[in-house]
Amino acid sequence: MRPLDNVIILDFTHMLSGPYGTMLLADLGARTIKIEPVKTGEGTRKLLAKDPDHSIEGMGAYFLTLARNKQSVAVDLKTEEGRALVYDLVRKADIVVDNYSRGVTGRLGIDHATLSAINPRIITCSVTGFGETGPNPDRPAFDLVAQGIGGGMSLTGEAGGTPLRAGIPIGDLGGGLFAAIGILAALNQRNLTGQGQHIDISMLDCQLSMLNYMATMQSLSGREPGRSGNGHFVHVPYNTYRTKTRHVILAVITDQFWQRLVDILDAPDLRKDAYLTQPGRWADRDVINARLQEILETESCEHWLARFGNQIPCAPVNDIAHAMADEQIRGRGMVVEVAHPSGRRVEMPGNPVKMSGMTEQVFTAPPLLGSHTDQVLEELLGLGTEARGALRARGIIG
């Protein structure tokens, strides 16, 4: 049993933010039905589809990952008959999710006002760049735009250097993550009130939320925290250091950890009384970091990790291959195999939500376009073979 086994989602999402949010819910058991254009499918199908290194039989890495555990129903939403089918599905559904630009759902007839008149219990969620209110809701936005306006890029990069976006698309992923949180909260509120509601997720809002205490620091002091590379504005040493192989991380945040580090390294010049407490180390941070770099680059990352063990907080800077091979990650079931409809399997990140009551993890193949149209229309709407055939002949379904 999975916690959302009784939930039906109609998924109108595309690209990354919306599909990531619905993927998280699908992993938790929600029956997630992608509503796609009959001829083209949704846009994510095209991403990397022709890249021989990053696709399987014309299905790229984006869709392979984001569409797992989902079903596909191909419907021409621009026809009256197609919209009528979708409205019938809305009567059976719990949630409708999109990440169109603001106003598109109204033009398609799938906005909350329309759908709640059909099913008052329906929960709708829209993820947009800037939200549906405020003075500038219609500006176009992608991940980089959200990261830039949201302030996080001002904190990312080397001191005095160029601001950098995060290596993972946190503008997009943040929107999807908060959408999933909002949907779960709305489901619980519906249990209390019997009524659905609309959830308005702004990628920009999500970026501001993740600034967290850094924004409060700026508010209190009037000073910008700025960029500090991989260092910390309080703790020393807290940084990445070159070795003969990969970079190694030291995250010394207590005086006890510092003393253990000095003992392991057996470096007499670091045994200064002034360094026994944080203020002294911070005052001499450049000297300490330079000396640690001299020591650590004499051996491999693996050597130092073995020496440090569990005595001080340390880690390798993994590339993706090393991360996916990590025994703790593997041991937690965070690398899973998902099949392409052809049967070929590919490894990808698993579901990070571990629940004692979730007795199974399921990862079904991402669907071919319209591969579940007949199944869904028969199971949920009771449409027989003849009725579906007539709709297909007129191009209403695919």
Per-residue exposure over 19-38, b if at least 16 CB sit within 10 Å of its own CB, e if not: bbbbbbbbbbbbbbbbbbbb
CA-wise closest residue to 174 among 135, 216, 218, 142: 142
Q: Which residues contact 362 (CB under 8 A, 6 or more apart)?
A: 2, 29, 69
Concerning whether 232 is annotated as a catalytic residue, the answer is yes
DSSP secondary structure of 228-257? -TT--SS-SSEEEE--SSS-EEEE--SHHH
Catalytic residue, from 14, 198, 232, 303: name it.
232
Which amino acid makes up residue 73? V
Q: What long-range pairs does 370-375 form, CB within 8 A, spacing at least 24?
A: 370/36, 370/38, 370/72, 370/73, 370/74, 370/397, 370/398, 371/71, 371/72, 371/341, 372/33, 372/71, 372/72, 372/73, 373/72, 373/73, 373/74, 373/75, 373/397, 373/398, 375/71
Specify which residues 238 forms β-bridges with.
251
Residue 86 corresponds to which tokens in the numbers above?
């979708």
The sign one gets for the Cα dihedral 116, 121, 122, 124 is positive
Contacts of 106 (CB under 8 A, 6+ apart): 114
Question: Active-site residues: which are they?
Answer: 232
